Amino acid sequence: MADAIHSMAVEEGLAMKVIVAKDKLVACTNDVMRAVSSKTTISILTGIKITATSGGLTLTGSDSDITIQAFIPTEENGIENIQIIKPGSIVLQARYFADIVKKLPDDTVTIEVDSRLMTRIQSGHSEFNLNGMDADEYPRLPVLREENTLSIRKDLLKQIIRQTVYAVSTSENRPILTGANWVFENKTLKCVATDSHRLARRTVTMDVEENHTITNLVIPGKSLNELGKILDDRDQDVVEMIATDNQVLFKTDHIQFYSRLLEGKYPETEGLIPNDVKTEVVLKTKDLLQAIDRASLLARDERNNLVKLKTVDQSSLEILSQSPEVGRVYENVPANKISGEELRISFSAKYMMDALNRIDSEELIIQFTGAMKPFILKPVDDPDLLMLILPVRTN
Amino acid sequence: MAMTWSDLAKKQPAAMRILMNGIRNNRLAHAYLFSGGRGVGKREAASHLARAFFCRARDGIEPCGACPDCKRIDSGNHPDVVVIQPDGRSIKKPQIASLIKAFSYKGVETSKKLFIIEQADLLTSQAANSLLKFIEEPQGNTLCILITEHSQKILATILSRCQVLHFKPLSKELLVHHLLENGVSRVMAKTVSAVTSDAEEATTLSKDEWFANSRSIVLHFMEDLLTRPNHAIITMYEKCALHFNDSDKMKMMLRLMLIWFRDVMALHIGQNDNVVYVDRMESLTEAAEKMTAEQAACALSLLMEAQRRLQSNGNPLSVLEYVSLKLQEGAGVYA
C-alpha cells in the first residue's frame, strides 16, 4: 500500500521519461555537441535540449548561429531504440551530459525528469541527478514547410562547399562577404563566394522547376564549413534543403543542420567576370600547382606572397619569384596550348594554390584579359566551376 | 506582478510617453539613449521596451509578460537580445566587434533584433567609433538601446545618432513608495528619502547597518540636547565622535541633525505630514514647544554653517564640538 502511494506520487511529478539505447544516444550527442559553444553569452545555449515525442527522441544543440538537431526514432529497421514512457522536454548542461552518457556502464540509459526539472540519468548501477533547465527558454527553431525542399546529392553539396567557401572574406569590414551567395533560378543553383580579391562560382543543374523559398540566400561561410564536416558517409546520399526568411536547413536522415543567414544584399558578381579573353593557356593542374608551391617557398615571408608568371614562345609558362633577402626561384612549366597575346602577370601564390587545390580535373584553362585585369581558372571538363583571381600590380 | 507601461510612466511620465507613442504608432526610433541617475528606472524601461518589441501576444502596447519571448527576455535567454556590459572598467572594441558580427546575421527567430549597451559612457573611444557606423545604418529590424548615467561623457557623434530620453530623479513621494515596496520600514524610508533622491543609493542606505545606527545615535543626541543638555556633551564624545569618525560620516550626521530641526519647523507651521522622524513625534512636539520657529531657524543656519566648515576641510571633531556647544547654549536659553 505504502509502495503504491509512493509510486503514484512519483508518477504525478514526472515530466518526462525515456529509456534509450546508449550507443544511439552517444552518437547523437556527439553530433549536436558540434554546435554547442562554450563562449555563448546566452546561458540556455550551454545546454542540449532533449525532447521526447511519441515518434522518438530529438537532441538539439546551438550557438545561435548554427543549430544541429539529431533524431533517434523509436524504432529503426525493426529494432527498438527507445521506449518513450512519458513525452516531455528538458535542457541539460551540454558539457556534463556529453561526458556522462559516454561513460555510462550499461547498454540502455533511462532519463527521467520530474516537475522541478531535476533529471535522473540512470544506467546499470550508476545514477546521476542533474539540475535541468526549462525547455521553454530554448530558442525556437523556424517552422519549415516541407513542400519547398530542394534535394541535392551529398557528395555534390560537399564539393560545392569545398570549391567555393574558401573564397569567402574573413574580414568583418563587409560582413555580407563572409557568406556565400546561393541563387536558385531557371533550374540552376549558383553558389558564389568572394572576398573582393578572388571569387569562386559553382553552378549545379537541378531537376526541380522552381522553389519558392530558396531564391537568393547568403549563408555564412563558417556554417557551410561546419556543414561540410558534419556530412559524413553514415547517412543516405541526398540532403534536403529548406529556407525561411532567417534560417536555412540542411536535412539528412538523422541530422538537421540549421544556419542563420546573413543580413543584407549580396553584391552583384556577374559583372566582375571578364569575357574578353586575350590570352588562353591550357595546362596540367598538378604541374602548375606544384610549380607555384615551389615558387612560393621563397616568397613565403613577403606580404603578398607574390609570384610572377610569363608566357614563353606559345609553349610554356615561366614562373618566377624572388625575395630581396633570400634569393630567387625560376621554373618552366610546359603548357599544352597557349593562344593569344604574350603576357606577364603577378599574383598571390596563396590565392592561386587555394584555387588549384580545389580543381579536381586533370587539366585546366586559364583565361587572361591583361596584366592588370582579373583572370579566370576553369577545369577543362567541367563548365560548372569558375574561379577568378585579381592580379597584383608590380613595376 | 507584471510591469506595465503605466507603472513605468508613474516614475518617468515624459520619457515613457515618447516610448509608448512610438510603439502605438509603430514609429520607434532605431536607437535610443536612456540617460539619468541611478535607480530611476532606465533598465526596467529598456527591458520593458524589449518585451514590447518582441512579444507576439502584445495587447495594444502592453507586452503580455507570460509568452516565451517575454519570459526569455526576463531570464536573459532570448537569442535575439544582446546585452553588453562593461568588461572590467570599460566596454572594449572586441565586445563591439562581436556585437556587430552577431548583428550582421539575420535574427534567430524573427527578423527583429535588439541590443542594449549598459553604462554606455564606458565605451572606449575605439569601441564607440566602431559602433558609429552600425548605429547609423542598422540592417533589418534592429533596435538599439544605450543606457548611461553620464550622457555628457558619450561621444557627440553617437549622441547625435540616438533619440535621447532623459530620466528624471524620482520625487520624494515616489521614492518613499518605491522603498516601501522593497520592504523598507516607513520610518527608514522617510529618513533615507530625506537624505538622498537617488533610488539605488536610497535602497543601499536603507539596508545599511551603519546608517541605521547613525540615525538612532543622532536622535539620541538630539533628545539629550533637549531634555538633559548637560549630559549631551558626554553623549557627543562617547557616541557621536566615535561613530562619525571622518569627514564624510560627519556630513551625514549634520544632514540627520538638519532633518530634526526641519521637523521642528514643520510642526511649527503645522505641516505635520512632512515630518521625517515620525517615530519621535513626542520628542519633536516637546522640542517645538520649547523653541520658537526663529530659534529653530537659527539652529538650521548654524548647521549649514557647520556643513560649510566641513566642506572647507574643517576638522570633523572640532566642527562637531562647535555645533554641539552652540546648540547646548541655545538649549540653556530655551529651558
Tell me the shortest Cα–Cα distance from A175 to chain B, in angstroms: 6
Q: Is B231 on the interface with A (CB under 8 A)?
A: no
Same domain, B148 and B285: no
Residues B57, B141 share a domain? yes
Q: What is the pLDDT along chain B (335 residues), one digit of tens a residue?
A: 468 898 888 888 899 999 999 999 988 888 999 998 877 889 889 999 999 999 988 888 899 888 889 999 998 899 999 999 988 888 999 999 888 888 888 888 888 899 999 999 999 989 998 888 888 877 778 899 999 988 888 989 999 989 999 998 888 888 888 888 888 888 888 888 888 877 778 888 888 899 999 999 999 888 888 888 888 888 888 888 888 888 888 889 999 999 999 999 999 988 888 888 988 888 889 888 888 888 888 889 999 999 888 888 889 899 988 888 888 877 544 43
Residues B140 and B25 in one domain: yes
Could you tell me which residues come within 8 angstroms of residue A107 by beta carbon, excluding any fewer than 6 positions away?
A21, A22, A23
CATH number at B44 reads 3.40.50.300
Give the tens place of pLDDT for each residue, B110-141: 888 999 999 999 999 899 988 888 888 777 78
Instruction: Say whether B108 and A178 touch across the interface (CB within 8 A).
Output: no
- Pick the last residue of a domain from B120, B146, B168: B168
Ordered by where they begin, the domains of chain A are 2-137 (3.10.150.10), 148-260 (3.10.150.10), 273-389 (3.70.10.10)
Which among B87, B99, B103, B108 is the top mutation candidate for probing chain A, defined by the most A β-carbons within 10 Å of its own β-carbon? B108
Clarify whether residues B107 and B251 are in a common domain: no
Q: Is the Cβ of B104 closer than 8 Å to some Cβ of chain A?
A: yes
pLDDT band at A131, cuts 50/70/90? very high
The residue out of B117, B145, B168 marking a domain boundary is B168
Instruction: Yes or no: say if A301 and A323 are a contact pair by the CB < 8 Å rule.
Output: yes
Chain A residues near residue B106 by CB distance under 8 angstroms: 245-247, 260-263
How many angstroms away from the CA of B236 is the closest CA of chain A?
54
Structural domain includes residue B180: no
Do B152 and B23 share a domain, yes or no? yes
* B154 shares its domain with B281: no
Integer angstrom CA distances of residue B62 from B3, B6, B7, B84, B89: 9, 9, 11, 25, 36
CA dist A93 → A24, A245, A259, A285 (Å): 19, 30, 22, 49
Chain B: nearest CA to A378, how far in angstroms? 32
Cβ atoms of residues A330 and A319 within 8 Å: yes
Q: pLDDT over 90 for what percent of chain B?
A: 23
Does residue B14 lie in a domain region? yes
B144 shares a domain with B30: yes
Q: φ, ψ for residue B27 (rounded to 5)?
A: -130, 45
B68, A140: Cβ pair inside 8 Å?
yes
Q: Is the ipTM of this complex over 0.90?
A: no
Q: Chain A closest CA to B69's CA: distance in Å? A: 9
Q: What residue of B is the nearest CA neighbor of A39?
A: B98
> Do B79 and B225 belong to one domain?
no
Whether residue B162 sits in one domain with residue B212: no
In a domain, B315, yes or no: yes
Q: Are residues B234 and B86 in the same domain?
A: no
Indicate the SS3 state at residue A322.
Answer: strand
* Last residue of one domain, picked from the residues B115, B148, B168: B168
| Lookup: cell for B44 | 526596467
Question: How many CB pairs lie under 8 A apart between chains A and B?
Answer: 68
> How are beta strands A75-76 and A14-21 bridged, if at all?
unpaired
The C-alpha atoms of residue B115 and residue B140 are separated, in whole angstroms, by: 13
Residues A167-225 have pLDDT tens digits of 999 988 888 999 999 998 888 899 999 999 999 999 998 877 666 666 889 999 999 99
3-state helix, strand, coil in chain A (%, to 5): 25, 45, 35
In a domain, B197, yes or no: no
Question: Is B198 inside any structural domain?
Answer: no
CA distance B302 to A288: 95
Label residue B29 exposed, middle or buried (CB < 10 Å: 0-12, 13-18, 19+).
Answer: middle
- Same domain? For B232 and B312 the reply is yes
- Structural domain includes residue B199: no
- B197-211 per-position pLDDT tens digit: 777 788 888 888 999
CB B203 within 8 A of CB B38: no
* Side-by-side strand order, sheet with B163-167: B81-84, B112-117, B141-148, B31-36, B163-167
Measured between its terminal Cα atoms, the distance across chain A in Å is 96
Which domain covers residue B155, as residue numbers?
5-168
The 3-state secondary structure of chain B, one letter per residue: CCCCHHHHHHHCHHHHHHHHHHHHCCCCCCEEEEEECCCCCHHHHHHHHHHHHHCCCCECCECCCCCHHHHHHHHCCCCCEEEECCECCEECHHHHHHHHHHHHECCCCCCEEEEEECCHHHECHHHHHHHHHHHHCCCCEEEEEEEECCHHHCCHHHHCCCEEEEECCCCHHHHHHHHHHCCCCHHHHHHHHHHCCCHHHHHHHHCCHHHHHHHHHHHHHHHHHHHCHHHHHHHHHHHHHHHCCCHHHHHHHHHHHHHHHHHHHHHHCCCHHHCCCHHHHHHHHHHHHHCCHHHHHHHHHHHHHHHHHHHCCCCHHHHHHHHHHHHHHHHHHHC
Q: With respect to residue B110, please indicate whether it lies within any of the assigned structural domains.
A: yes
CATH number at residue B236: 1.20.272
Is residue B13 domain-shared with residue B161, that is, in the same domain? yes
Contact state of B139 with A139 under an 8 Å Cβ cutoff:
no
CA distance B152 to chain A (A): 30
pTM: 0.79
- Contact of B107 with chain A, judged by CB distance below 8 Å, is answered with yes
In whole angstroms, give the CA distance from residue A108 to residue A149.
36
A319: nearest Cα among A354, A343, A355: A343
Count of domains observed in chain B: 2
Per the domain annotation, does B243 fall within a domain? yes
